[in-house]
Amino acid sequence: MKIVVTLPDGSKSEVIAKPMSSVMSAMRDAGLPVRAECGGAMACATCHVQVDPVWVSKTGRAGSEESDLLDMSDYRTETSRLSCQIRMTPALDGLAVALQLDALE
């Protein structure tokens, strides 16, 4: 499955994800510069992405605990998510996200 990731400099990368893997792990496996300090344990916000608005109905919005972590970000928007909390399914093939500045290594 494919994920289109826009980096803060505007460049785009296509990442291949395994079924049920997180968007965060797919970005890391592809060598993108995502900090992801907690390794996907939802204990930080260093894998912060903005989901393209056309995909929000499929990814869903951040839950309350995820939302609390995202509150620490200066870059939070209505479509912000922690990429460790988005699991890839066939319905998300082609997902478009933008990696935020606070998530860069």
The confidence band for 66, taking pLDDT boundaries of 50, 70 and 90, is very high
Residue where the block lists tokens 């912060």 = 48
Residue 56: phi and psi, rounded to 5, are -60, -35
* Tens-place pLDDT, residues 5-23: 999 999 999 999 999 999 9
Domain edges within the chain: 2-103
> Average pLDDT of 67-86?
96
CATH fold, domain 2-103, is: Ubiquitin-like (UB roll) (3.10.20)
* Tens-place pLDDT, residues 14-58: 999 999 999 999 999 999 999 999 999 999 999 999 999 999 999
67-105: buried (b, 16+ CB within 10 Å) or exposed (e) per residue?
eebbeebebbeebbbbbbbbebeeebeebbbbbbebbee
97 conformational bin, left if phi > 0, alpha if psi -120 to 50, beta if neither: beta
